[in-house]
Amino acid sequence: MRNESFKILSPCGILGYGFPDASFENGLAENPDAIIVDAGSTDAGPHKLGANVAIVSRRAYKKDLSRLIKAGRERKIPVIVGSAGGSGAKAHVDWTLSILEEIAAENAYRNVKTAVIWADIPKETVAAQLEAGKIEGLSRTVPPLTKERLAETTGVVAQMGHEPIAAALENGAEIIICGRAYDPAPFAAAAIRAGFDPALAYHMGKILECGALCCDPGTAKDCMIGEIKADCFEVRAPNPLLRCTKTSVAAHTFYEKSHPYLLPGPGKLLDLERCTFEEAGDGVVRVSGSRIRPALPYRVKLEGARKTAYRTFVIAGVRDPLLIEKIEDVESLVSESIRAQYADLDPADYRINFYNYGKNAVMGNLETVQAASHELGVLFEVVARTQEIASTVCASVRSTFLHYGFPGRKSTAGNLAFPFAPSDVEFGAVYEFSVYHLMETDDPLRLFPIEYRIMGGAV
């Protein structure tokens, strides 16, 4: 028999962002049925996935995860982590599991059933689906997938829906570590498994996955409570300084969507056209009218990145009004000088870019505000075929720019002020999304194998 409601505590927008102790304790005082957190995002681009590194630091991640595990163990409620480690590939999940084992050892946790849901998709599987015409593009900025681009990809993950997470809950998992997951899916899985409407469950997940970002004021570094009922769900912030309003929650419903009220996900389409948002008092917003319909064939989003180049960059300041007036011209002349200096290099082997902060660096040619600046922050980078070429060319750009004799220059002491020494920063490998596509599947569980472990070892 289904309970009248099901409560989920979302501690923050991304695991490792942090959250106030008082808010978390207030949320726990409401006796949630599950603690669920999203740990991933592609907002920062493809580097984290391609380089197999985490979005946040190990210290921050462990601090947050320790608090969640402790609360879950004390209250005997499940803890679910979506898109572990940031990108949800095997390296990120393994990193999370190593932290989890540290937490278990330090707190003497024993006999805790843990589910690990892998989201890595073998390239052979992707290649076969590509050959069968069952993969389609998703972004106009990512070229069509080819066997060559797939071979250059470091690894491929797929966004899981709620199905494998619900299956792990059904099998008694107390902690669930998910590979790459559709952001609302971990929240939806718990509510759907508890017997509630999938449309309301996914819509509530859409709100909760960003923590308190739907509040006024909004922040991803604070907690949210979501409570789903038979015909609606309610959201509220356990921090009394943050309040949900119907405008703030409705606005967040539009967050990261390509359509005003349609939100596609793995095997489904969430239709929010008839949603209503009602302020139910004391910072509580009640949402109803969410609908969902199957999207056939069932498709999952694939993500993969490939290494394309290496980067070295320099940050400098410019205070000379004569140089500021001619900055683009000087940068163009510096680039020409470098091309002449390295005529032995293939021009396709490197690229020089300038960003003049204080003069259209953010918007570029789209900038509508024309304002004179008395100083500029100049960032220039060289992106090249190898790190050696990137660093060599960047050093020459820096020295040429520093002493470039533009017409009218009064001081020969130097054009640039450097905040750091050494001034040149070797960034390392540069990645691009090589896989950002939809793939058909006839089984949403088969792609995401579940492995059960006993955290800390059996008693």
d(CA 456, CA 73): 13
Domain ranges for the chain: 6-119+159-298+441-455, 306-434
For 324-346, the pLDDT digits (tens) are: 999 999 999 999 999 999 999 99
User: Is the pLDDT reported for residue 435 higher than 70?
Assistant: yes
User: Is the pLDDT reported for residue 160 higher than 60?
Assistant: yes
pTM of the shown model: 0.93
Contact assessment for residue 361 and residue 310, using Cβ atoms and an 8 Å cutoff: no
Confidence at residue 459, expressed as pLDDT on a 0 to 100 scale: 40
Confidence at residue 360, expressed as pLDDT on a 0 to 100 scale: 85
User: Is the pLDDT reported for residue 457 higher than 70?
Assistant: no
Confidence at residue 1, expressed as pLDDT on a 0 to 100 scale: 53
Instruction: Point out which residues pair with 432 in neighbouring strands.
Output: 306
Highest mean pLDDT among 69-83, 130-144, 244-258, 362-376: 69-83
For 258-303, the pLDDT digits (tens) are: 888 899 999 999 999 999 999 998 899 999 999 999 999 999 999 9
Instruction: Classify burial at 411, counting beta carbons within 10 Å of its beta carbon; exposed 0-12, middle 13-18, buried 19 or more.
Output: exposed
pLDDT category of residue 254 using cuts at 50, 70 and 90: confident
* Ramachandran quadrant class, 314 (left: phi over 0; alpha: psi -120 to 50; beta: rest): beta
The first and second tokens of residue 168, run together, are 């792990």
User: Is the pLDDT reported for residue 210 higher than 60?
Assistant: yes
User: Is the pLDDT reported for residue 371 higher than 90?
Assistant: no
Confidence at residue 2, expressed as pLDDT on a 0 to 100 scale: 67
Architecture of domain 306-434: 2-Layer Sandwich (3.30)
pLDDT category of residue 424 using cuts at 50, 70 and 90: very high
User: Is the pLDDT reported for residue 374 higher than 50?
Assistant: yes
Q: Is 139 or 210 the better-scoring residue by pLDDT?
A: 210
pLDDT category of residue 40 using cuts at 50, 70 and 90: very high
User: Is the pLDDT reported for residue 451 higher than 90?
Assistant: yes
Confidence at residue 410, expressed as pLDDT on a 0 to 100 scale: 85
What is the rounded average pLDDT for all residues in the chain? 95
> Strand 262-265 and strand 135-137: pairing?
unpaired
